[in-house]
Amino acid sequence: MAAEALSSARQSTLRTANLGLVLRTVCAAPEPLSRADVAASTGTTRATASRLADELLAAGLLDESERGAPTGPGRPGTPLVPGSSIAALGMQVDAGLLAARVVDLRGRVVGERVEDGDFVGSDPMTTLHRLRAVTTDLLAHLPDVRVVGAGLALPGIVDASAGLLLRAPNLGWSNLRPAELLHLPLTPTLGNEADLAARTVAESAPGRPGPHRDFLYLSGQIGVGGAAVLAGQVLSGTSGWAGEIGHVCVDPDGPACRCGSTGCLEQYAGRHALLSGAGLPLDAAPGELAARIERGDPAARGAVDTAARALGVALAGVINVLDIPTVVLGGHLGELADFLRPALQEHLRRRVLSAGWRPPTIDAAVALPAAGATGAALKVLGDVVADPARWLG
Amino acid sequence: MAAEALSSARQSTLRTANLGLVLRTVCAAPEPLSRADVAASTGTTRATASRLADELLAAGLLDESERGAPTGPGRPGTPLVPGSSIAALGMQVDAGLLAARVVDLRGRVVGERVEDGDFVGSDPMTTLHRLRAVTTDLLAHLPDVRVVGAGLALPGIVDASAGLLLRAPNLGWSNLRPAELLHLPLTPTLGNEADLAARTVAESAPGRPGPHRDFLYLSGQIGVGGAAVLAGQVLSGTSGWAGEIGHVCVDPDGPACRCGSTGCLEQYAGRHALLSGAGLPLDAAPGELAARIERGDPAARGAVDTAARALGVALAGVINVLDIPTVVLGGHLGELADFLRPALQEHLRRRVLSAGWRPPTIDAAVALPAAGATGAALKVLGDVVADPARWLG
């Protein structure tokens, strides 16, 4: 902050910062804002706010809302909303699906393709060529939007700056450059599926705070991905590899995991572990497991209780270290949240040191197939909102 | 940043920010800085830098170094160093010691008292009155410094804003206000021992970066405290209760812990656990354990291997979630680091998902009795460095 203060006399820096501030203010607001609202929120004059808004309108980053409403005494303002013609492409490959989704600056899905499939141990070339076909078809049928960037969510650890997927244990992929195989007109940046899916909880639209800002997100897929979110920001760690809650060891004498360790959380709470523990085929839906519990099936109940205990051990450890006592369950864990919650809360109460003062809470994420694809698009749009001057030429 | 840019026209804010910037620049430098160095580092003019430095000199926050050295062509500069007359008091109560230490703005220990004792299950009133006596004696014998604030490090979770110790399992203390019992002229702010001790690794002097900036710190005491440090900042969590690595569960079927859970890390790697595992009395020194391992004592070796396995499970989980692959061992774990490291590294290589790309490293902290007391003083001085204008009237 102080460094900026000393250098902020440079006009171009001020303009850049102020454009970003105005765009973020409009994007964060739950309702359209008048120019006067923007001036008040940003602590600037109405003339300055209006001039900055005009620049953003000209670039399509803001729109004037059609329904200008009276804003108190004086002439009616023309409320400002995020621009509907700016959008981003999010893609996802997971063990059970392929997805491509285009989201605009207002957070609306402009178009999408989601295809189920079994991509465990799949050939990367074949799978990514299928994603390319799906995406190309989607882009060819879009309404009139400018797609400003793309992201790809993958269930593994990536080196985003190098465009390299290091390892996705459940796909069986390692050391490859997906963008080269995809060969799309827009080169996607890579991200971890759970890190990106967590953005759909932290943000209800690009730059607009979602239902939670500080939470642990668990993404129930074939495995279990995760992300820790602090003040709306996904904790990335020193190399962007943070959040691998699925590989927290809950019992060193437990079953072997694909990652090379033993007793990882996903060996108890991953989709395959839950389904096989319940005596169901691996391609059964989580809804079938829920139906069996409701019918009093002891194997189904037992599988969910085993998962709850493992989640309790792993999440208690994470909460003891991070002091983020809100858990949001996504994917199949979200679908099973009501069955997991009582036992999980009991385990957390016992194992979290601070539970006596603030017991952890457990929420389910809004069900959204391929949340990672939406998160990948939100990330691209978040970069636009953070620094709109780059898009103004 | 942008918000500051819009409001930075206010001169007082700029002055405040710039005073902080100059003080931080001098404090962060490993060598004394000339006014020209300060101007260059802060991107301001020499006249401005000089005027700001004069204000800080007048307040005692900076000193002119006695040995003015030539700084290239032109007249010799008078180098600036942090002020030696500004200091802070750090105190600590731990299961095995009481300490009071005064540290100045250059990071030098101006005076200290450290007393060993057994404070497990002690009466808070008696123990804190003893700390009061020790501290009062220390303050009465200080050289001429201005003690600007105080901190108290405790082995438990605190509510710093309320001045409340919520729970320190190994002292057997809960729900008390230590400052009221201490009744010193300076009211100390409370902090977690390991969080504060971690500052002694992150900072080599107030505001000066230490040997590590991103690391997990483990404080081996009767129990095991911890802290996660990112970019030099201790991760505090939503209520300041983060870092309780000692209560990460490494085996849900393991021994009961004082905290109410089972199989917590400190049941394997705490001082009492290690000593009793080795067949030593609970008041033996970690050096005795080390000596027995060197003599080939199988019980001592076994206790350390058990601790290394538990540390491996707990730290691998934390590294998988946080992606901070540097571990710094303090307290008795630091003293035993050479014996723990080979097995611990092997466990981490197997259980950390990203270990193939960046294997975690394990360092020992410089041995420092009552590092929490030093950290408590550093925290007070860090607040001074962050906002010196508050100290200028």
Q: For residue A377, give how far its alpha carbon lies from the nearest alpha carbon of chain B (Å).
A: 24
Element (H, E) at B46: helix B46-58
Give tens-digit pLDDT for B68-105.
Answer: 555 555 445 689 999 999 999 999 999 889 999 999 99
C-beta atoms of B237 and A322 within 8 A: yes
Residues from chain A that touch B167, judged by Cβ atoms under 8 A, are: 353, 356
The DSSP 8-state label assigned to residue B391 in this structure reads G
Q: What is the mean pLDDT of residues B48-61?
A: 94
What the block records as the tokens of B182 is 């201490």
State the residue for tokens 């919520």: B166
Nearest CB to A353 within list B6, B259, B324: B259
Amino acid A3: pLDDT: 40
Q: What is the interface pTM, i.e. ipTM, of the complex? A: 0.88
Task: Give the A:B interface size as CB pairs under 8 Å.
Answer: 189
Residues making up chain B, counted from first to last: 393
For chain A, say whether B296 makes contact (Cβ under 8 Å).
no
CATH (one of 3.40.1410.10, 3.30.420.40, 3.40.109.10, 3.40.50.300) for B210-364: 3.30.420.40
Q: What is the DSSP string of B82-125?
A: E-SSEEEEEEEE-SSEEEEEEEETTS-EEEEEEEE---TT--HH
Token pair of B29 as six digits:
């430098």
Q: With a CB-CB cutoff of 8 Å, which residues 169-228 of chain A face chain B?
A: 214, 226, 228
**Do β-strands A157-159 and A146-154 pair in parallel, antiparallel, or remain unpaired?**
unpaired
Q: What is the dihedral of CA B62, B64, B70, B76, to 10 degrees?
A: 110
Phi and psi (nearest 5°) for A136?
A: -60, -40
Residues 6+ apart with CB under 8 A from B328: B198, B201, B212, B215, B216, B217, B218, B334, B363, B364, B365
Q: What is the pLDDT along chain A (393 residues), one digit of tens a residue?
A: 334 444 443 456 777 888 999 999 999 999 999 999 999 998 889 999 999 999 999 999 999 987 555 555 544 568 999 999 999 999 999 988 999 999 999 999 999 999 999 999 999 999 999 999 999 999 999 988 999 999 999 999 999 999 999 999 889 999 999 999 999 999 999 999 999 999 999 999 999 999 899 999 999 988 899 999 999 999 999 888 999 999 999 999 999 998 899 999 999 999 999 999 999 998 898 899 999 999 999 999 999 999 999 999 999 999 999 999 999 999 999 999 999 999 999 999 999 999 988 999 999 998 788 999 999 999 999 999 998 988 775
Q: What is the pLDDT of residues B112-166, one digit of tens each?
A: 999 999 999 999 999 999 999 999 999 999 988 999 999 999 999 999 999 999 9
Task: Say yes or no: A289 contacts chain B, CB-CB below 8 A.
Answer: no
Short-list A188, A24, A349, CA closest to B260: A349
Within 8 A of A323 by CB-CB distance, chain B residues are 236-243
Neighbours of B364 (CB within 10 A): 17
A322 — contact with chain B (CB < 8 Å)?
Answer: yes
A81 CA to centre of own chain:
23
- List of chain A residues whose C-beta atoms are within 8 Å of the C-beta of residue B242: 321-323
Contact B228 A321 (CB under 8 A): yes
Q: Is B320 close to A247, i.e. CB distance below 8 A? A: yes
Check residues B367 and B353 and name the one with the higher pLDDT. Answer: B353
Under DSSP, is residue A203 helix (H, G, I), strand (E, B) or coil?
Answer: strand
Closest CA to B225 of B178, B191, B179, B251: B191
Query: A259 to chain B nearest CA, in Å?
Result: 7
A318 touches chain B (CB under 8 A): yes
pLDDT of B393 above 80: no
pLDDT in tens, B181-232: 999 999 999 999 999 999 999 999 999 999 899 999 999 988 899 999 999 9
Amino acid at A209: P
Q: Which of B5, B239, B243 sits opposite A4 (nearest CB)?
A: B5
Contact B2 A24 (CB under 8 A): yes
Pinpoint the alpha helices (H) of A84-183: 124-140, 178-182
For A86-201+371-391, give the CATH class: alpha beta
Question: Least CB-CB distance to B321: which of A5, A243, A323?
Answer: A243
Query: Between residues 113 and 152 of chain B, which touch chain A (CB distance below 8 Å)?
Result: none
Tell me which architecture the domain covering B88-201+371-391 has in CATH. 2-Layer Sandwich (3.30)
Determine the distance in angstroms separating the CA of B111 from the nearest CA of chain A, rounded to an integer.
Answer: 33
CB contact under 8 A, A354 and B166: yes
Contacts of B166 in chain A (CB under 8 A): 354, 357
- CA-nearest of B297, B385, B388, B390 to B339 is B297
A3/B236 CB distance under 8 A = no
Position B329 pLDDT exceeds 50: yes
Question: What is the residue whose two structure tokens read 């599988």?
Answer: A303
Chain B interface includes A167 (CB < 8 A): yes
Please tell me the distance from the alpha carbon of residue A94 to that of residue A153, in angstroms, as a whole number: 8
Q: Calculate how close chain A gets to B185, using CA atoms only, in Å.
A: 30
Q: Which residues of chain A have a CB within 8 Å of the CB of B42?
A: 3, 6
Structure tokens at B54: 């004069």
Confidence of residue B4 (pLDDT cuts 50, 70, 90): very low
A window 335-364, beta carbon within 8 A of B? 350-351, 353-354, 356-358
Q: Which of B4, B316, B354 sits opposite A239 (nearest CB)?
A: B354
Instruction: Provide the 10 A C-beta neighbour count for residue A77.
Output: 20
Q: Is-contact A365 A200, C-beta < 8 A?
A: yes
Q: What region does A288 belong to: left with phi over 0, alpha with psi -120 to 50, or beta? A: alpha
Q: Rounded to a whole number, what is the distance in Å from the CA of A306 to chain B's nearest CA?
A: 12
Is the CB of B317 less than 8 angstroms away from the CB of A314?
yes
Burial group, residue B350, by CB count within 10 angstroms (0-12, 13-18, 19+) = middle
Count of C-beta atoms within a 10 Å radius of residue B160: 15
User: Sorting pLDDT into bands at 50, 70 and 90, what band is B1?
Assistant: very low
Kindly report the number of other CB atoms within 10 A of residue A151's CB atom: 27
Q: Do A5 and B24 touch (CB under 8 A)?
A: no
Rounded to the nearest angstrom, the minimum Cα separation between A209 and chain B is 17
The CATH code belonging to domain B2-82 is: 1.10.10.10
Partners of residue B226 in chain A, C-beta under 8 Å: 321
Nearest residue on chain A to B194, judged by CA atoms?
A321
Q: Does A20 contact B14 at a Cβ distance shorter than 8 Å?
A: no
Residue B12 is predicted with a pLDDT of 61
Query: Is the minimum CB–CB distance between B293 and chain A shorter than 8 Å?
Result: no
Planar angle of CA A25, A28, A29, nearest 5 degrees: 85
Nearest CA in chain A to B315: A248
Find the residue in B nearest to A322 (Cα): B242
- Non-local CB neighbours of A19 within 8 Å, separated by 6+ positions: A52, A55, A56, A388, A389, A392
Say whether residue B251 is in contact with chain A using an 8 A CB cutoff. yes
pTM: 0.88
Is it true that B2-82 and B88-201+371-391 share their CATH fold? no
Q: Does A239 touch chain B (CB under 8 A)?
A: yes
Show the tokens assigned to A118.
């079994």
Minimal C-alpha gap between A49 and chain B (Å): 11
Q: What torsion, rounded to 10 degrees, do the Cα atoms B201, B207, B213, B215 define?
A: 40
- The amino acid at residue B282 is L
* Domain at A212-364: CATH architecture: 2-Layer Sandwich (3.30)
**Contact at CB, A249 and B250, closer than 8 angstroms:** yes
Q: Does B241 touch chain A (CB under 8 A)?
A: yes
Asked if A313's CB is within 8 angstroms of B252's CB, the reply is yes
User: Under 8 Å CB-to-CB from B118, ≥6 apart: which residues?
Assistant: B95, B96, B283
pLDDT in tens, B232-285: 999 999 888 999 999 999 999 999 998 899 999 999 999 999 999 999 998 898
Distance, in angstroms, between B289 CA and closest chain A CA?
26
How many C-beta atoms lie closer than 10 Å to residue B185's C-beta? Answer: 9
| CB of B28 closer than 8 Å to CB of B213 | no
DSSP H stretches of helix in A43-141? 46-58, 124-140
- Which residue has tokens 């008078």? B78
Given this model, what pLDDT does residue A207 score?
94
Rounded to whole angstroms, how far apart are CA atoms B265 and A271?
29
- Min CA distance, A1 vs chain B (Å)? 6
Give kind and range of the element (H or E) at residue B374: helix B371-386
Which residues sit opposite A215 in a β-bridge? Answer: A229
| A43 vs B contacts (CB less than 8 Å) | 3, 6-7
* Nearest to B86, CA basis, from B26, B140, B147: B147
A-chain CB neighbours of B3 within 8 Å are 21, 42-43
Per-domain residue ranges of chain A:
14-65, 86-201+371-391, 212-364
How far is residue B63's CA from residue B310's CA, in Å, rounded to a whole number?
48
Helix (H) or strand (E) holding B110: strand B109-116
**A35-42 helix and A11-28 helix, angle to the nearest 10 degrees:** 120
Partner residue facing A259 (CB), from B8, B313, B353: B353
Can you state the angle between helices B298-322 and B286-294, rounded to 10 degrees? 110
Sorted by sequence, the CB contacts under 8 Å of residue A87 that are 6+ apart come out as: A102, A103, A104, A105, A110, A142, A145, A146, A147, A148, A377, A381
Contact A239, A195 (CB under 8 A): no
Q: Which residue from B236, B244, B354 is facing A241, i.e. has the nearest CB? A: B354
- Nearest-CA distance A233 → chain B (Å): 13
pLDDT of residue B368: 83
Pick the CATH number of A14-65 from 2.40.160, 1.10.10, 1.10.3470, 3.30.9: 1.10.10
Best mutation target among B224, B250, B353, B385 (most A Cβ atoms within 10 Å) is B353
For residues B324-341, average pLDDT? 95
Pairing of strands B109-116, B97-104: antiparallel
**Among chain B residues, CA nearest to A258:** B353
